Amino acid sequence: MKKARLTLLLAVCLAAFRLSAQTPANPLWHEQKVKNYLPHMTVPEVRELLTRTDMVIIPIAALEQHGLHLPIGTDYLNGVERAKLVAQKTDVLVAPVLLVGQSPYHMEFPGTISLSAETIVKVHLEAVQSLLQHGFKRFLILNAHGGNKAICTYLVDRINQETAGIAVELAEAVAPFRTPSTLPKGKEKVFDRHAGVSETSSSLYLIPNLVRMDQAETARLFMPKHMEAMVPEVLDGDPTANLVFLAEGLKAKQTGKKTSAAEMSTTGVWGIGDLKAASAERGRDEAERFVDAAVKFIEKWKSLRPKN
Ligand SMILES: [Zn+2]
């Protein structure tokens, strides 16, 4: 009995000593390990996931100005966070490849980094080839930045035409599964695109501590007259007005169209909505409806085409 007590005392002393001698963790490290998120996974965990799924979400991101209140990494961070939320509800790997996207029309704002469409497609195709080698086969391309839309369509086609992989654009895939928002709508529609109320709301939910609402400033916009005249029809959802408006709007300064972000906006925000109307609740509603629709699509794809 005495010996047992002594052993216990020794064990307690040793544990206390170890605790006091422990090196404190990096004070900047606050990330929690996230399931199915490739950068956090070990090789055995990737092997194990491969026994359950052959699907990968690849967010196609951007590092670009987002007004005075949102971080440069908004699109990268929000895209990755959405993908992680999907991967907690159904088995799919989340594999971010690049932080940077195509953003030449934001280049007058410091911090923006822009790559050519060719480079972005090439890098992602090579990444897909790596993942194919390990047994992943189906790729869900999650576009996190409007300016990457054509790149995503082209990347999906290149994967499908040139590799053993099978790819879809996630936005297109989830569209039939989306449910309408149940939140009360504002009375009138206002022009709200880049870094506006909608993107600020998403960020307030997905990356709250990086949003500087104290710095949020509603922009004054200077669109070319003929574009400004189209805005009411664009807001009404007229598809032709929308098509020709976006064909010309937000283009690099050197195109001479006078529609780069700095040429059209005092702050870099392309929208005139009151940023104070942004809310985490609206962001949560949008993110949850996206995640639910993505999970439904993935489950349906799994049943339509089981993993080999
Ligand atoms: Zn953005």
User: In which band, very low, low, confident or very high, does the pLDDT at 181 lie, cut at 50, 70 and 90?
Assistant: very high
**Residue boundaries of the structural domains of the chain:** 38-180+286-304
Mean local confidence (pLDDT), 200-218 = 97
Taking 90 as the threshold, does the pLDDT of residue 217 lie above it? Answer: yes
Higher pLDDT, 175 or 185: 175
Taking 70 as the threshold, does the pLDDT of residue 22 lie above it? Answer: yes
Taking 90 as the threshold, does the pLDDT of residue 282 lie above it? Answer: yes
Q: How far is CA 129 from the centre of its chain?
A: 22
- Ligand 1 midpoint to CA 212 (Å): 15
Beta bridge partners of 114: 101
Taking 60 as the threshold, does the pLDDT of residue 37 lie above it? Answer: yes
- Ligand 1 midpoint to CA 135 (Å): 32
User: In which band, very low, low, confident or very high, does the pLDDT at 2 lie, cut at 50, 70 and 90?
Assistant: low
Map tokens 């050519």 to a residue. 116
At residue 287, the pLDDT reads: 98
Tens-place pLDDT, residues 148-173: 999 999 999 999 999 999 999 999 99
* Rounded distance between C-alpha atoms, residue 21 and residue 156, angstroms: 52
At residue 233, the pLDDT reads: 96
Please give the CATH topology (third level) of the domain spanning 38-180+286-304: Rossmann fold (3.40.50)
The residues, any chain, with a CB within 8 Å of residue 34's CB and separated by 6 or more, are 40, 84, 87, 88, 94
At residue 162, the pLDDT reads: 98
User: In which band, very low, low, confident or very high, does the pLDDT at 16 lie, cut at 50, 70 and 90?
Assistant: low
Tens-place pLDDT, residues 249-260: 999 999 999 999
Taking 80 as the threshold, does the pLDDT of residue 307 lie above it? Answer: yes
- Ligand 1 midpoint to CA 236 (Å): 23
At residue 9, the pLDDT reads: 66
Beta bridge partners of 113: 63
Mean pLDDT of the chain, nearest integer: 94
- Ligand 1 midpoint to CA 75 (Å): 5
- Ligand 1 midpoint to CA 114 (Å): 13
Taking 80 as the threshold, does the pLDDT of residue 3 lie above it? Answer: no
At residue 17, the pLDDT reads: 61
User: In which band, very low, low, confident or very high, does the pLDDT at 189 lie, cut at 50, 70 and 90?
Assistant: confident
- Ligand 1 midpoint to CA 81 (Å): 13
- Ligand 1 midpoint to CA 66 (Å): 6
Q: Is the pTM of this model over 0.75?
A: yes
At residue 12, the pLDDT reads: 64
- Ligand 1 midpoint to CA 74 (Å): 6
Mean local confidence (pLDDT), 119-128 = 98
- Ligand 1 midpoint to CA 268 (Å): 11
Q: 189: buried, middle or exposed (CB in 10 Å: 19+, 13-18, 0-12)?
A: middle
Taking 60 as the threshold, does the pLDDT of residue 94 lie above it? Answer: yes
User: In which band, very low, low, confident or very high, does the pLDDT at 184 lie, cut at 50, 70 and 90?
Assistant: confident
Taking 60 as the threshold, does the pLDDT of residue 1 lie above it? Answer: no
Mean local confidence (pLDDT), 113-127 = 98
